Amino acid sequence: MTAINAKRLINHINELGKIGIDSQGRRTRLALDDSDKLARDKLVQWMREAGLRIIIDKIGNIIALWENDSNKNKPAVMTGSHIDTVINAGQFDGCYGVLAGLEVIQTLKESNKIFPRPLAAAAFTNEEGVRYSPDMLGSLVYAGGMTPEQAHKIIGVDKTILGEELARINYLGTSEPGCIKPHAFIELHIEQGPILDSQNYDIGAVENLQGISWQKIIIEGVQNHAGTTPILYRQDAGLAAAKIITFMRTLCENNTLATAGCIEFQPNAINVIPSKAILTADLRNPDENLLCESENKLANFISQLEKTDRVKISVERLSRFKPVIFDSKIVGLVEKFSAKYNLKCRRITSGAGQDAQNMALMCPTAMIFAPSKDGISHNPREFTSEKDLISCTNVLFDVIQELAKEA
């Protein structure tokens, strides 16, 4: 009976996890930076060693394709995720799904099984969106949600231009995004939350994914002396930012989550009332109407604040994805094969944004979650046991074969 090469999978995960790591065990591979390039090069080397055809498209998505004469050009069963990370990240977010997908296809190719469909494993560009907004960019372009030309013009938080960075690291491919038509897409990913681990489940059949709204809020006040300016005279951009962050927490009801992940004061001096504050708002909800309601409440609060605090506030839209319901048939396959391996499985919502939410625009799509110890993620302490990594990959192995048999 063919089975994945568990040792090879674990080695690949640990190997890739070493790229971009610092002396404190924190890894940072922001999209298209030098560490991302090193990780990309390593992944392409493994894909080549597996004897797969490598396609690099115009947004730098890396796709490893296994096709033969009998199934050439038919829509492929696709899997994959991302290998870029946030700052001080763990080693499983995204990478696990890419490497598990590669492992499954490599094992099937080695077994000389022939399927009616090609199989493909993808590593999508800039899933995290830390350096360039929006997040899930590579899969968004792949699914036709943005043109490569539009994406190339995006300016990063470090003022670099996305297209130039893509060329600099030599991943400005020539293939059209979406060139490998997907018949179905299944993404394996760590849960990144506490549900599976705390409730002792072995695996999650992801049935939906919450909507995401990212905004940049720029507040302009009047710079002044911290010691001589009476409170009533102040137009304090810093205070206004603090009020917005506190208000965002009041939005967190009916499943809305609100996070201010970035903040910057100018001129950022201890004895100067800030002239400018720049912060970000990350709002999420599995229900589109409730997400819109939270966005509207924040917008209303901001326009009130301009009056009460005599500051000028502008808002830039960075990213916006609607909630997604995954394909119930594929979710059923995840449950079916979890049962085959006696894995305790539950249906679950993805709190994180995923490339699968864009691939769902192209084809029937679903996800598999592996448990995250203590629910920690976007943190070097992110951990999933080898047992869980391997058992969830076995389920991916079976789901892909089942989808590949579909004529």
Does position 84 interact with ligand HGY (CB under 6 A)? The reply is no
- Please identify, using beta-carbon distances, which residue of 188 and 298 lies nearer to Mn ion: 188
Residue 151 interacts with, from Mn ion, ligand HGY, none (CB under 5-8 Å by kind) = none
Taking residue 63's Cβ as centre, other Cβ atoms within 10 Å add up to 25
- Interacting partner of 187 out of ligand HGY, Mn ion, none (Cβ under 5 to 8 A depending on kind): none
Cβ proximity to Mn ion: between 93 and 197 the closer is 93
135 touches ligand HGY by CB under 6 A: yes
The interface partner of residue 60, options being Mn ion, ligand HGY, none and the CB cut-off 5 to 8 Å by kind, is none
Q: How far is CA 388 from CA 277, 279, 370, 373, in A?
A: 44, 37, 6, 10
Min separation Cβ 136 and ligand HGY, Å: 6
Identity at 57, one-letter amino acid code: D
- 353 binds, options ligand HGY, Mn ion, none, Cβ within 5 to 8 A by partner type: ligand HGY
Least distance CB 146 / ligand HGY (angstroms): 16
Q: What is the dihedral of CA 331, 357, 359, 322, to 10 degrees?
A: 120
CA gap 259, 170 in Å, rounded: 35
Number of neighbouring beta carbons within 10 Å of residue 177: 26
Question: Angle CA(195)–CA(197)–CA(201) in degrees, nearest 5?
Answer: 85
Q: Quick check: helix, strand or coil at residue 64? A: strand
**Token digits of residue 320:** 């916006």
Contact stretch for ligand HGY (CB under 6 A) within 121-129, 168-176, 256-264, 309-317: 121-129
- How many alpha carbons lie under 13 Å from residue 256 in its C-beta half-sphere? 25
Minimum CB separation from ligand HGY for residue 268, in Å?
A: 26
* Binding residues with ligand HGY: total (CB under 6 A): 6
Nearer to Mn ion, 93 or 207 (CB): 93
174-203: contacts with ligand HGY (CB under 6 A): none
* Residue 182 site contact among Mn ion, ligand HGY, none (CB < 5 to 8 Å, cut-off depends on kind): none
Stretch that binds ligand HGY, among 23-31, 102-110, 128-136, 295-303 (CB under 6 A): 128-136
62 contacts: CB under 8 Å, gap ≥ 6: 40, 43, 44, 47, 54, 55, 56, 122, 123, 171
176 burial type by CB count under 10 A (0-12 exposed, 13-18 middle, 19+ buried): middle
Please say whether the beta carbons of 136 and 94 come within 8 A. no
Count Cβ atoms below 10 Å from residue 144 Cβ, excluding itself: 12
Tell me which stretch binds ligand HGY (CB under 6 A): 127-135, 165-173, 308-316, 356-364: 127-135
Residue closest to Mn ion when measured from CB atoms: 94
The whole-angstrom separation of Cα 394 and Cα 304 is 54
Answer yes or no whether residue 67 interacts with ligand HGY by CB under 6 A: no
Q: From residue 313, how far is each of 134, 244, 246, 308 by CA, in Å?
A: 21, 11, 16, 12
Q: Which of 353, 364, 371, 380 binds ligand HGY (CB under 6 A)?
A: 353
Q: Indicate the residue among 94 and 173 with the shorter CB distance to ligand HGY.
A: 94
Let me know: does 130 contact 87? Beta carbons within 8 Å. Answer: yes
CA distance 266 to 219: 10
Site pattern 297..336 for ligand HGY (x: CB under 6 A): ----------------------------------------
User: To the nearest whole angstrom, how small is the minimum distance from the Cβ of residue 313 to Mn ion?
Assistant: 29
202 binds, among ligand HGY, Mn ion, none (CB under 5 to 8 A by kind): none
Look up residue 230 and give its two tokens.
């009476």
Residues 81 to 100 in contact with Mn ion, rule: CB under 5 A:
93-94
Is 137 a binder of ligand HGY (CB under 6 A)? no
Give 128 or 187: the residue with its C-beta nearer to ligand HGY.
128
- 127 touches ligand HGY (CB under 6 A): yes
**Binding-site ranges for ligand HGY (CB under 6 A):** 127-129, 135, 352-353
**Binding-site ranges for Mn ion (CB under 5 A):** 93-94
